[in-house]
Amino acid sequence: MTVNAPLCFTGKKILAPMVRVGTLPMRLLALDYGADIVYCEELIDIKMLQCKRVINEVLETVDFVAPNERVVFRTCERERHHVVFQMGSADAERALAVAKLVETDVAGIDINMGCPKEYSTKGGMGAALLSDPDKIESILTTLVKGICKPVTCKIRILPSVEDTVNLVKRIEKTGIAAIAVHGRKKEERPQHPVHCDVIKAISEAVSIPVIANGGSHDFIKEYTDIETFQKATAASSVMIARAAMWNPSIFRKEGLFPLKEVMQDYIKYAVRYDNHYTNTKYCLCQMLREQLETTQGKKLHAAQSTQEICEVFEMADFYEETTAVFEAKKASLETETQDEDDQMEDPDVIKMAVRFDKREYPPQITPKMYLLEWCRKEKHPQPVYETVQRPLDKLFCSVVTVAEQKYRSTLWDKSKKLAEQAAAIVCLRTLGVPEGKLCEGENHLINKRKREDQESLNNRDHGEDLAEPSHKKANFIEETSDMNVPKVPR
C-alpha cells in the first residue's frame, strides 16, 4: 500500500514512549517545547481491540474507550501529524487490527520490542520478541503491507554486536520506515552505561533511519547534549525518555524553562483534556523528584483530584474557569442534540417520560417479558426493539414496535437493556396491560413459572428427562438482538 505523507525520521528530536508518562498532556507539551515527533505510551493490542472510537465533542478529541468507559487512548488534531502509536503485540493479525483502528488518527505505528518489564514480556511482547525473529518479521511485514502509515519498531541490543546488527538487517527488509534502538541489553538498567558503539554499528549497517535512545543518564542534561548523543551514535535522530519526563522543555533550543513554569504548563493541558488526576499526579511527581519532600511535594502527594492538584500549584482559578467553559459547552451540545432528537421524532410514536427501576419488579420479571406474553396471547408478532446511542453522552433510547404502533420513553438511559425496558413500559401502559410491578398484586408470570418448576420437579421424581421443554422456556426468555447499537446520526 502507498504511504501518504509519511513522517520523516531523519534529524528529529523525539519524545520516547513511556508508560504512564506519554499521555496526551505530556505529548502536547513536548511538541510545544520543540519535539518533532511524540510516541504514546505502550498500549496492549488486546485491550485496544475492546475499545470503541468516540468523538468527544466537548474536549474536541478522539477517544478510544474501553467497555468500562475508561479512556485508553486520547488524541487530538494538534498532534495528529506528529504522534506515533506504540502498541504491545505478539500477534500479526491483532497488531494489524489495532493499527487499522487508529491509523486515521495518528501519524505512524510502532511495535514495542524493547520493554523488559514482566507485564510486557509475559505475553511474548516487548523484549521477548527479540528472541523470535520470525515473529518480528511476521508482525512488521503484515503492518507494512496492511496500513498506509509508516511503521517503526523499538528494540534493545542483543548480547553481541553481530547478533544485533543481523537482527536489525532482517528487520530492515520488512519495509519499516525507521528503527529506534535503546542502547542497553534487556537485563541492563538506566544506571548502566549506554552502548553508543552498538547503536553506531547499527547506524552504519542499515540504510533506514536509526533513532538513538538511552542517553538521558550519560549524556542528555540540556538541549545541546542531544546533538552530542546523536554524533556519538551516528544515528539519524534521537529519542528522549527520562530527561523529557523530568523536564519536557529539554526540547527547547533556547534552553530549559524553570520547573515551576513547566509544571504549570503541564497542568493546563491536563485540565484542558480532562486527564485522570492519578496520571497527572504521577507525571508531576516525576518532575518534582528530589522536591517531593518539600511542602509542595507533600501537598501534591496528598491531592485526590485534579482540582486539589491545581490548588497545590496556585491554579484554582484556571481550573474553575476551564471547567465552567466545558460545562457550558456540554450544556450547549446537549441542547443541540435534543433539538436534533426533536426534529428526528416520528409523530406517530407514542411517548412517555418513564424509566425502568428493577426494584419495583419481582426478581427475573420485567416489562419486556409481560409485553412478549401479551403479544403471544393476542396473536401479534413479537415486539421489535430499535435502539440508538447518542454520541455526546453515550446514553440509549429504544423504540418498540407492537402491532404496527411505535412506543418510546422520552428519557435516555445508560444501557441498551434499560432503554428497551422503558419502551416496553410505555407500550404496556398505553395498552392498559399490567407490566409486572410488585404493587400490581398477584403476578401471573411468577405463578406460571412456579407451576412449570413444579412440573419439572414432578418429572424428575418420575425419572423423566430433566430438560425443560423448549416451548415452555420460550415463555420466559426476552427476545434480544445481538446487533450492534447504531449511533444517532449527527
Catalytic residues: 115
Q: What is the DSSP letter of 42?
A: P
- CA terminus-to-terminus distance, the chain: 32
Going by C-alpha positions, the residue among 199, 210, 183, 193 that lies closest to residue 233 is 199
Determine the 3-state secondary structure of 34 from DSSP. coil
23 Cβ partners below 8 Å, 6+ apart? 40, 41, 74, 275, 279, 283
Please state, in angstroms and rounded to a whole number, the distance separating the CA atoms of residues 229 and 235. 9
3-state secondary structure 238-265: EEECHHHHHCHHHHCCCCCCCHHHHHHH
Backbone torsions φ then ψ of 146, nearest 5 degrees: -100, -15
Grid cell at residue 385 = 426493539
Please state, in angstroms and rounded to a whole number, the distance separating the CA atoms of residues 284 and 266. 8
Contact 93, 142 (CB under 8 A): yes
- C-alpha Rg value of the chain to the nearest Å: 29
Determine the 3-state secondary structure of 52 from DSSP. strand
Going by C-alpha positions, the residue among 468, 34, 3 that lies closest to residue 247 is 34
Going by C-alpha positions, the residue among 353, 352, 356, 329 that lies closest to residue 436 is 356
Going by C-alpha positions, the residue among 362, 343, 354, 351 that lies closest to residue 488 is 343
What one-letter code names the amino acid at 223? Y
